[in-house]
């Protein structure tokens, strides 16, 4: 079995170079590009969560959620804290939580009166009532 490569934390202390900044942005972008990981991050913005709870909330299998949480953890976006037989996941840094919240606020600033342009949109809540 191959040994998994662990990525360095998302945040680097010291003077970041352009290359390290690009690496961080690329890792964050790849992690957030997956709709399931984005849904998990949205759920974790409101506070820590456990894989079983997240799976139930998002209608996914525990294994699927665990795999995505591992990706997010390896990218340094979330941290895992063992609690007995469970593991609690949360966004790794309050700065990241605030930044993601601000990003969501900007991206989701939608004109509710505007017509939906894609009735087949798979994003939950995006084009409700149009289908």
Q: Per the structure, how many domains does the chain have?
A: 1
Confidence of residue 43 (pLDDT cuts 50, 70, 90): very high
Q: Which of 98, 76, 79 is nearest to 90 (CA)?
A: 79
Residue 66 and residue 72 in contact, taking contact as beta carbons nearer than 8 Å: no
Q: Kindly report the CATH number assigned to the domain that includes residue 65.
A: 1.10.10.10
pLDDT of 131: 43
Has residue 5 been placed in a domain? Answer: no
Q: Tell me whether residue 7 is in a domain.
A: no
18's CB contacts (< 8 A; 6+ apart) are: none
Read off the pLDDT of residues 44-83 as tens digits, 9 standing for 90 and up: 999 999 999 999 999 999 999 999 999 999 888 999 999 9
Does some domain include residue 34?
Answer: yes
pLDDT for 6: 44
Q: Which residue has the higher pLDDT, 96 or 109?
A: 96
CB count in 10 Å sphere of residue 17: 10
Binned at pLDDT 50, 70 and 90, residue 7 comes out as very low
- Domain extent for 31: 18-100
* Residue 49: HSE in the Cβ half-sphere, 13 Å Cα cutoff: 23
This model's pTM is above 0.75: no
What integer is the mean pLDDT of 24-34? Answer: 85
Q: Compute CA distances 49 → 21, 75, 114, whole Å.
A: 28, 18, 34
| Helix and strand numbers, DSSP H then E, in the chain | 5, 2
């Amino acid at each position: 079995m191959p040994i998994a490569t662990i990525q360095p934390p998302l945040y680097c202390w010291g003077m970041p170079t352009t290359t390290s900044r690009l690496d961080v942005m690329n890792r964050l972008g790849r992690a957030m590009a997956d709709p399931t990981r984005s849904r998990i991050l949205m759920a974790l913005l409101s506070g820590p969560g456990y894989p079983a709870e997240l799976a139930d909330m998002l209608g996914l299998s525990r294994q699927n959620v665990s795999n995505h949480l591992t990706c997010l953890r390896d990218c340094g976006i979330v941290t895992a804290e063992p609690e007995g037989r469970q593991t609690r996941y949360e966004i790794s840094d309050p700065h990241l939580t605030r930044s993601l919240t601000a990003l969501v606020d900007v991206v989701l600033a939608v004109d509710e009166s505007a017509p939906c342009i894609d009735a087949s949109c798979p994003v939950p809540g995006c084009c409700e009532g149009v289908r």
